[in-house]
Amino acid sequence: MVRRKRSTVRFPRKQIPKIFSCPKCGLTAVRVVMERKKNTATVICGKCHLTDEFPLAPVNQAIDIYCKFTDKFNVGELA
Ligand SMILES: [Zn+2]
């Protein structure tokens, strides 16, 4: 009997930077830097340097933080 590895894709522990598009300058240059140790996530645009920091819950993914970031921008709370 051959046991095959489960095909479930697991993300490596190492944080892979994910790039999203910036609500301000429109460029795909927004990185979400998650610092699990500090329970914070920093969102920064490499182009216009729009930056914000969010509390990071264990369940949060980069995309969740990015959503908060765009929401905040859309309501005018970000410069
Ligand atoms: Zn930008």
pLDDT tens digits along 10-61: 666 665 658 999 999 999 999 999 999 999 999 999 999 999 999 999 999 9
pLDDT confidence bin for 68, thresholds 50/70/90: very high
What total of structural domains would you count in the chain? 1
Range of the domain at 70: 19-74
CA of 51 to the centre of ligand 1 (A): 9
pLDDT confidence bin for 65, thresholds 50/70/90: very high
In a domain, 40, yes or no: yes
Smallest CA-to-CA distance from 41 within 29, 31, 33 is with 33
Give the pLDDT score at 35: 94
In a domain, 43, yes or no: yes
In a domain, 36, yes or no: yes
CATH for 24: 2.20.25.190
What pTM was estimated for this model as a whole?
0.76
CA dihedral 9, 14, 61, 65 (to 10 degrees): -150
In a domain, 49, yes or no: yes
DSSP codes of every residue in 32-64: EEEETTTTEEEEEETTT--EEEEE--TT--HHH
In a domain, 12, yes or no: no
In a domain, 3, yes or no: no
CA of 70 to the centre of ligand 1 (A): 11
